[in-house]
Amino acid sequence: MIHPGTVRRRRLTGLLLLVVLLTVAVVASIAIGTRSLAPTTVFDAVTHALGCDGGPFRCPARSTAEEIVRELRLPRTALALFAGVALGVAGALIQGYTRNPLADAGLLGLNAGAGFLAALSIFAFGFTAPAQYIWFAFAGSAIAGVIVFGVSSIGGGKASPLSLILAGAAVTAFLQAMTNAIIVLDNAALDTYRFWVVGNVAGREAEVFWEVLPFLVVGAGMAMAAAPSLNLLSLGDDVARGLGVDVTRARAFGLFAVVLLTGGATAAIGPIAFLGLVVPHMARTITGPDNKWLIPYSGLLGGLLLLVADVAGRVIARPGELQVGVMLAAIGAPFFIALVRRKKLVAL
């Protein structure tokens, strides 16, 4: 039997390794693009921006390279990092609360809700920039989450894993039908919507990052706070109640964290399929089912995978680029199939 102290040291070592890899990915994301920059140039631009009295995004650039770093790649990298962390954590929470190893944000209707209100705002108000319709997308995700939880609680007042899945499927189907009706009616809305719905971190201003950051930070904090109760819920609702857990309140608390994380990330970069599905399985092969370790591992792996996919999309299609949503599907699908074939998925 492995000593608990040894397991803890291995998990801490794994977290440290992920932080190192994440740092390398951040540097690569800032340095690699249509115009590649030397690491020294990147370091000089970042340190000058951080030391500027006007703030990192307001200080005037000293060169074209510094302008590229500050105005384009820093906001893009920061958004990819935090959105990846948010989606990874949200995926771990959703799979835990639904006790479904194939669950992700799309299962609870969150992506469909964001897509519906984003398309509606584009159609009704003629919005074209992400900063204009980001709040509608976030509100759509939040409203969809509330509806799913409310519908699943009808009859007995208990939102069970099965009722959450069924309610999410129904709400998703309805909202997707409404979204399709909107974009069919208006070609202009379709043109703007399709660039959002494919999932992309390019072309997002720093303003978008700062607007969603508070929701992502609060959601991540709530996720870590929910980990102990989620461990008990994984034993079954009856056992959790016997151990003193208010099941309905605990599940509502965790799903609210999911709404904050998924809503903020999806509103900013569009729906990213596969990340919330694959990352928790990757983390679970290292940590096991303990959510106190699974959640931070899922967050770091989510940020790392999204950054790597974004950088790979720039390298493969130079001088153009492939959207990160396309790259994640190309990277994630084979990897997930390989995990299944090698039977390394850890049961929930």
Here the tokens at position 288 are 């096991």
Mean pLDDT of the chain: 83
Q: Which is nearest to 105 in space by CA: 139, 145, 78, 137?
A: 145
Angle between helix 275-287 and 74-98 (nearest 10): 70
CA dist 259 → 52, 64, 70, 271 (Å): 35, 39, 30, 13
pLDDT for 108 equals: 81
Residue 20 scores a pLDDT above 60: yes
Rounded Cα distance between 157 and 115, Å, is 29
The total number of residues written for the chain in this structure: 348
Stated pTM of the model: 0.86
Using pLDDT thresholds of 50, 70 and 90, give the confidence band for residue 3. low
Rounded Cα distance between 99 and 251, Å, is 12
Per the domain annotation, does 18 fall within a domain? no
Residue indicated by tokens 């130079």? 318
Per the domain annotation, does 258 fall within a domain? yes
Per the domain annotation, does 250 fall within a domain? yes
pLDDT digits (tens, 9 = 90+) for 34-75: 777 777 777 777 776 666 665 555 566 667 777 777 778 888
Using pLDDT thresholds of 50, 70 and 90, give the confidence band for residue 123. confident
Residue 127 scores a pLDDT above 60: yes
Per the domain annotation, does 62 fall within a domain? no
Per the domain annotation, does 19 fall within a domain? no
Q: Which is nearest to 269 in space by CA: 178, 183, 208, 332?
A: 208
| Pairs from 163-172 (Cβ < 8 Å, separation ≥ 24) | 164/97, 164/98, 164/108, 164/255, 165/98, 165/100, 165/103, 165/107, 167/109, 168/107, 168/108, 168/109, 169/107, 171/109, 171/112, 171/113, 171/144, 171/147, 172/106, 172/107, 172/109, 172/111, 172/112
Per the domain annotation, does 119 fall within a domain? yes
pLDDT digits (tens, 9 = 90+) for 187-236: 777 777 877 888 888 878 788 888 899 999 999 999 999 999 999 988 88
Q: What does 127-183 look like in DSSP terms, one character per residue?
A: --SHHHHHHHHHHHHHHHHHHHHHHHTTTTS---HHHHHHHHHHHHHHHHHHHHHHH
Q: Which residues contact 272 (CB under 8 A, 6 or more apart)?
A: 83, 87, 199, 265, 266, 306, 324, 325, 328
pLDDT for 2 equals: 61
Residue 185 scores a pLDDT above 60: yes
Per the domain annotation, does 334 fall within a domain? yes
Stronger pLDDT, 185 or 287, i.e. the higher one: 287
Using pLDDT thresholds of 50, 70 and 90, give the confidence band for residue 317. confident
Using pLDDT thresholds of 50, 70 and 90, give the confidence band for residue 339. low
CB 92 within 8 A of CB 283: yes
Stronger pLDDT, 199 or 86, i.e. the higher one: 86
In the chain, how many domains are there?
Answer: 1
CATH code: domain of residue 147: 1.10.3470.10
Per the domain annotation, does 207 fall within a domain? yes
pLDDT for 156 equals: 56
pLDDT for 255 equals: 86
Share of residues in the chain with pLDDT > 90 (%): 26
Give the amino acid at 69.
Answer: V
Domain span holding position 321: 74-341
